[in-house]
C-alpha cells in the first residue's frame, strides 16, 4: 500500500517522534487529547480565506502553512545561563518569573515561588505529575480545537508551558510573569507554548505574558492560553507581542468567566511579520465583566490581525473593547471584533471601539466590528475610525509655538497613551512608555496639508 503524503505529514512525523521519546511520563488523558487534536488538525489544516470563512477574510496564513518550521522542543540549550532577563523584558523586583526557551521551560532562568506562596505557579510538565485533577478538569476544555486549526496544532504538541492556579480567596500581589523567548537558530523553528490559568472564587492576580526574540531569525510562535476566571475573581492579564519582524505569531486566549468576575486583558503588539491575536471571552454568568484593551504599532510590511470574540451568554454582563492601531510603512492592520448576545442575555452592556491612525500612503486598515444580537433588552454599540492625524489639532499646537514634528509626536503618543495609561503595574507601564515612545514613527506631510 502506498502511503499518501499530505502537506501535514511533517507535523505528524514530529508528533510521532516526540510521542516515542517523551510520552511515557505523561498521563494517558493528555496523550489522548494530543492524539485527537492531531487528527483534527489533519482534517482542518490551516485556515484559509476561502468562501465563507469570514474569520480569516483579510489574513493569509499561507506563509505559515508553506514554511518548513522545525519543531524546536528538543533544541540545544547552550547559552541559557548567559541570558540576562532584565535587559530584554519588563522587570519587577518582586515578580515571579517563569521562562520558556522556544516553548520549553527553563529552570535556570525561572524564579519559581517558594512553597509558602499563596498560588501554584509552575511549568506544565511538572503540573502533569502533581496537579492532575485541576489540569484534567480544565486543560483543553476551554480552548477547544474542533474548528480552529492553530489551536488543534498547539494541542497536538501540548507538552510544556505554564500552569497557574490561584486558590479560592487568595489575592496574589506581585505579578506573575511568563516569558517566552525565541532564541533563534539556523533553521526556522516552531514552538507551541501552552498556558493554563485557573483562578478560584474571590481570588485576585495579575499575569503578564511576554513573547520575546533574541535574534532576528524567523520562527513560528503558536501560543494558546486558557484562563478560567472564578466567581467574583479579579484577573488582570497582559500580553506583550514583542517578536522580531521576521516572526509569525498566532496567539489565542480563551477566557471563561464566572459570576461577578472581572477580567482585564491588555495587548501590546509591536513585532511579528504576521501577527494574529485571538481573544475569545465567554461571559458565562450574570454580573461578569471584561475590559479588553489593545495597542498595536506596525511598520514595514508587517501584518497585524486582532480577532476578538466576546460572547454574552448570560444576562447582566458587561464588556468593553478598546483597540488602537498606529500604522506606518506598507503595514496592514486587521480588526475583527464580534460581540454576540445570546437569546435571554438581557441587560447586556457591550461596547467596542477600533481606532486606527494611518501615517503612510501605503498602510492599510481593514476593520470589521460586528454585533450579533439575539436579546432585546440590551445596550450595545460599536465604533470604528480610520484616518490621519487631525490637521486642526496640529494647527492648534503650532499656534502655541510647537513645530509640526513635535506636535505630531505628541498627538501620536497621545493616541497611544490612552491604552498605556490603563496599565496598573507601574514597572510595566514605564517599560511600555519607553518602548512605544521611543519607537514613534516620524510624521510625514500628506496630501492636503501645507507647511
Partner 1 sequence: MTQSNAVTTKKVISRTSGIQESDYRWGFVTDVEADVAPKGLNEDIVRLISHKKGEPQWMLEWRLKAYRHWLKLNAEEPKWANIHYPAIDYQDIHYYSAPVSKAGPQSMDAVDPELVEAFNKLGIPLQEQKRLAGVAVDAVFDSVSVATTYQETLEKQGIIFCSMSEAIKKHPELVRKYLGSVVPYSDNFFATLNSAVFSDGSFAYIPPGVRCPIELMTYFRINQADSGQFERTLIIADKGSYVSYLEGCTAPMRKSHQLHAAVVELIALDNAEIKYSTLQNWYPGDKEGKGGVYNFVTKRGKALGKSSKISWTQVETGSAITWKYPSVILQGDNSVGEFYSVALVNHYQQADTGTKMTHIGKNTRSTIVAKGISAGHGNNTYRGLVKIMPSADNARNFTQCDSLLIGDKCGAHTVPYIEVRNPTASMAHEATTSKVNDDQLFYLQQRGIAFDEANYMIINGFCRGIFKELPFEFAMEASQLLRVSLEGTVG
Partner 2 sequence: MNKVQERSQEVLAIRNLHVSVGEAEIIKGLNLTVNPGEVHAIMGPNGSGKSTLVNALAGKPQYVVTKGEVLYEGMNLLAMLPEVRAREGVFLAFQYPLELPGVRTWQFLKSAVDAVRTHRSLKELSVREFDRLLTEKIKIAEIDSELTKRSLNEGFSGGEKKRNEILQMLVLDPKLALLDETDSGLDIDALKIVAQGVNQFRGPSKAIVLVTHYQRILNYITPDYVHVLMEGRIVKTGGRELALELEEKGYDWIREASGVARE
127-to-18, 95, 124 alpha-carbon distances in Å? 19, 21, 5
Euclidean distance between the first and the last CA atom of the chain, given in angstroms as a whole number: 74
Which member of 196, 363, 394, 420 binds partner 1 (CB under 8 A)? 363
Dihedrals phi, psi of 319, to nearest 5 degrees: -145, 145
Size of the chain, expressed as the number of residues it contains: 451
Which member of 291, 397, 435, 437 binds partner 2 (CB under 8 A)? 397
Which of partner 2, partner 1, none does residue 373 bind to, with CB < 5 to 8 Å depending on kind?
A: partner 1
Smallest distance from the beta carbon of 266 to partner 2, in angstroms? 16
Residues 52-81 that bind partner 2 (CB under 8 A): none
Which member of 372, 430, 439, 442 binds partner 1 (CB under 8 A)? 372
Dihedrals phi, psi of 246, to nearest 5 degrees: -100, -10
* Segment interacting with partner 2, rule: CB under 8 A, options 84-92, 286-294, 306-314, 402-410: 402-410
Does position 384 bind partner 1 by CB under 8 A? yes
Q: How far is CA 287 from the centre of its chain?
A: 25
Rounded to whole angstroms, how far apart are CA atoms 314 and 92?
38
Place of cell 448570560: 314
Rounded to whole angstroms, how far apart are CA atoms 184 and 195?
22
* Segment interacting with partner 1, rule: CB under 8 A, options 156-164, 283-291, 365-373, 415-423: 365-373
3-state helix, strand, coil in the chain (%, to 5): 25, 35, 40
**283: nearest Cα among 224, 373, 345:** 345
Does position 6 bind partner 2 by CB under 8 A? no
Dihedrals phi, psi of 89, to nearest 5 degrees: -140, 160
Which of partner 1, partner 2, none does residue 5 bind to, with CB < 5 to 8 Å depending on kind?
A: none
Residues 414-433 that bind partner 2 (CB under 8 A): 414-418, 421
Nearer CB in complex with partner 2: 61/416: 416
* Segment interacting with partner 2, rule: CB under 8 A, options 34-42, 143-151, 281-289, 411-419: 411-419
Smallest distance from the beta carbon of 422 to partner 2, in angstroms? 12
Smallest distance from the beta carbon of 166 to partner 2, in angstroms? 33
Nearer CB in complex with partner 1: 218/369: 369
**94: nearest Cα among 208, 228, 226:** 208
Rounded to whole angstroms, how far apart are CA atoms 218 and 246?
5
State the residues that interact with partner 2 by CB under 8 A: 390-393, 395-404, 406-407, 410-411, 413-418, 421, 449-451
State the residues that interact with partner 1 by CB under 8 A: 51-52, 54, 343-344, 346, 356, 358-388, 446-448
Amino acid at each position: 500500500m502506498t502511503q499518501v503524503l499530505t502537506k501535514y505529514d511533517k507535523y505528524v512525523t514530529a508528533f510521532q517522534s516526540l510521542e516515542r521519546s517523551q510520552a511515557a511520563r505523561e498521563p494517558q488523558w493528555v496523550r489522548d487529547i494530543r492524539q485527537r487534536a492531531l487528527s483534527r488538525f489533519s482534517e482542518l489544516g490551516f485556515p484559509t480565506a476561502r468562501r465563507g470563512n469570514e474569520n480569516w477574510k483579510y489574513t493569509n496564513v499561507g506563509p505559515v502553512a508553506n514554511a518548513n518550521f522545525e519543531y524546536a522542543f528538543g533544541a540545544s540549550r547552550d547559552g541559557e545561563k548567559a541570558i540576562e532577563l532584565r535587559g530584554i523584558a519588563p522587570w519587577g523586583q518582586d515578580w515571579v518569573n517563569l521562562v520558556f526557551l522556544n516553548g520549553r521551560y527553563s529552570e535556570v532562568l525561572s524564579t519559581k515561588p517558594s512553597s509558602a506562596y499563596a498560588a501554584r505557579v509552575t511549568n506544565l510538565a511538572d503540573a502533569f505529575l502533581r496537579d492532575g485533577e485541576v489540569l484534567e478538569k480544565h486543560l483543553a476544555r476551554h480552548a477547544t480545537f474542533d474548528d480552529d486549526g492553530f489551536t488543534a496544532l498547539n494541542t497536538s504538541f501540548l507538552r510544556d508551558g505554564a500552569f497557574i492556579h490561584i486558590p479560592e480567596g487568595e489575592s496574589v500581589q506581585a505579578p506573575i510573569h511568563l516569558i517566552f523567548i525565541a532564541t533563534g537558530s539556523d533553521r526556522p523553528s516552531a514552538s507551541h507554548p501552552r498556558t493554563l490559568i485557573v483562578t478560584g472564587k474571590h481570588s485576585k492576580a495579575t499575569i503578564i505574558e511576554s513573547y520575546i526574540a533574541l535574534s532576528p531569525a524567523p520562527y513560528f510562535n503558536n501560543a494558546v492560553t486558557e484562563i478560567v476566571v472564578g466567581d467574583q475573581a479579579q484577573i488582570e492579564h497582559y500580553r506583550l507581542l514583542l517578536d522580531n519582524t521576521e516572526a509569525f505569531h498566532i496567539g489565542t486566549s480563551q477566557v471563561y468567566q464566572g459570576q461577578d468576575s472581572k477580567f482585564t486583558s491588555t495587548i501590546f503588539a509591536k513585532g511579528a511579520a504576521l501577527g494574529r491575536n485571538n481573544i475569545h471571552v465567554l461571559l458565562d454568568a450574570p454580573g461578569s465583566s471584561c475590559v479588553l484593551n489593545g495597542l498595536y504599532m506596525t511598520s514595514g510590511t508587517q501584518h497585524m490581525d486582532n480577532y476578538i470574540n466576546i460572547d454574552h451568554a448570560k444576562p447582566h454582563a458587561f464588556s468593553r473593547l478598546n483597540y488602537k492601531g498606529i500604522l506606518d510603512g506598507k503595514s496592514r492592520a486587521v480588526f475583527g471584533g464580534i460581540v454576540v448576545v445570546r437569546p435571554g442575555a438581557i441587560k447586556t452592556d457591550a461596547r467596542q471601539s477600533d481606532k486606527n491612525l494611518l501615517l503612510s500612503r501605503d498602510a492599510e486598515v481593514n476593520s470589521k466590528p460586528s454585533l450579533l444580537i439575539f436579546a432585546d433588552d440590551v445596550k450595545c454599540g460599536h465604533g470604528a475610525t480610520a484616518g490621519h492625524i487631525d490637521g486642526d489639532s496640529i494647527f492648534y499646537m503650532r499656534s502655541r509655538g510647537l513645530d509640526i514634528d513635535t506636535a505630531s509626536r505628541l498627538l501620536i503618543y497621545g493616541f497611544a497613551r490612552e491604552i498605556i495609561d490603563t496599565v496598573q503595574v507601574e514597572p510595566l507601564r514605564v517599560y511600555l512608555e519607553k518602548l512605544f515612545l521611543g519607537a514613534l514613527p516620524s510624521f510625514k506631510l500628506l496630501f492636503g496639508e501645507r507647511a
